[in-house]
Structure 1
């Protein structure tokens, strides 16, 4: 089994990571943590280094639980949702885990654009961790 988790170092992403690690531990699954930046020279070196550091921290967190984990920083000119769905399809993922946050009354009518895209377009089950 292969679990993919989207990660951007926000609180919802940390909850998604914790959930994905728990599932990977229980199911003896491979875990892949991805972060997505648009690319094309739009990110600063500092931003790239911050994401690399965050991915290293995610890998260490999984390792402490005995979970095998690969990390990937994607900069392919896609939105984070598009990157996550495409990467999951390329890797034949069995589950995608994403973080979601609480929204206002109006915002409750829909998820954030990334979460909504992944839920609607993902080719495998999607678990939204809150």
Structure 2
């Protein structure tokens, strides 16, 4: 049974889906959720004052409130650094039982060029990992009309 679930958010359009999966697990197991957003250090300009990008504290507070309203204890933290390594390190420091994060489904070439946070976490996490796959859009698929068979 999970007691502490770390939810890694990354400003992707699928964050809501990742959060919903983690919330459902927390409700079922009575676990505490900790929402985590790691700002990649390379995304912070040297000449600019440091600010967090979306999801901003207001968005994270809103998700915490949503979890609390569902009867789940939750909090959030933001961190500046390397998302992949920091997710694992924070999970270990917090003694998380489970990490929930999303996966965009990059091609192997895309993962090679851009790296894959989910792949790194799967191989280095100090606890169980749930990777939530991005849902593919069905609006681009063309519906097929069933064929009717007639007998003479």
Structure 2 unaligned residues grouped into runs of 5+: 134-152
Matched, 1:117 2:108: no
The structure with the larger Rg is 2
The structure with the largest helix share of the pair is: 1
CA pair 19-45 structure 1, distance change in 2 beyond 3 A: farther
C-alpha distance in structure 2 between counterparts of 1:27 and 1:113, whole Å: 29
Unaligned 5+ runs, structure 1: none
Q: Does 1:59 align with 2:64?
A: yes
* CA gap 1:49/1:127 in 2 versus in 1, 3 angstroms: closer
Q: Post-superposition shift, 1:108? A: 8.3
Which residue of structure 2 lines up, in the alignment, with residue 69 of structure 1? Answer: 74
8 Å CA contact retained: 1:24, 1:67: yes
CA deviations 1:12-60 (Å, max 9, x no partner) are 3221111111100000001100001145992666952642122112212
Larger relative contact order, structure 1 or 2 (CA cutoff 8 Å, min sep 6)? 1
Q: 1:15 to 1:47 in 2, by over 3 A?
A: farther
Q: Partners in 1 of 2:115 and 2:67 — Cα distance?
A: 26
Q: Give the 3-state SS of the residue equivalent to 2:52 in structure 1.
A: helix
- Residues 112, 6 of structure 1: CA spacing in aligned structure 2 closer, same or farther, 3 A cutoff? same
Task: State whether residues 36 and 80 of structure 1, in contact with CA within 8 Å, keep that contact through their aligned partners in structure 2.
Answer: yes
The structure 2 residue matched to 1:4, chosen from 3, 6, 23, is: 6
User: Structure 1 length normalisation: TM-score?
Assistant: 0.82
1:8 Cα shift? 2.1
Cα distance in 2, alignment partners of residues 49 and 115 from structure 1: 20
Map 1:22-33 → 2, pairs under 5 A: 22-33=24-35
TM-score (norm 2): 0.71
The two structures, once aligned, show a CA RMSD in angstroms of 2.8
Further displaced range: 111-120 or 28-37: 111-120
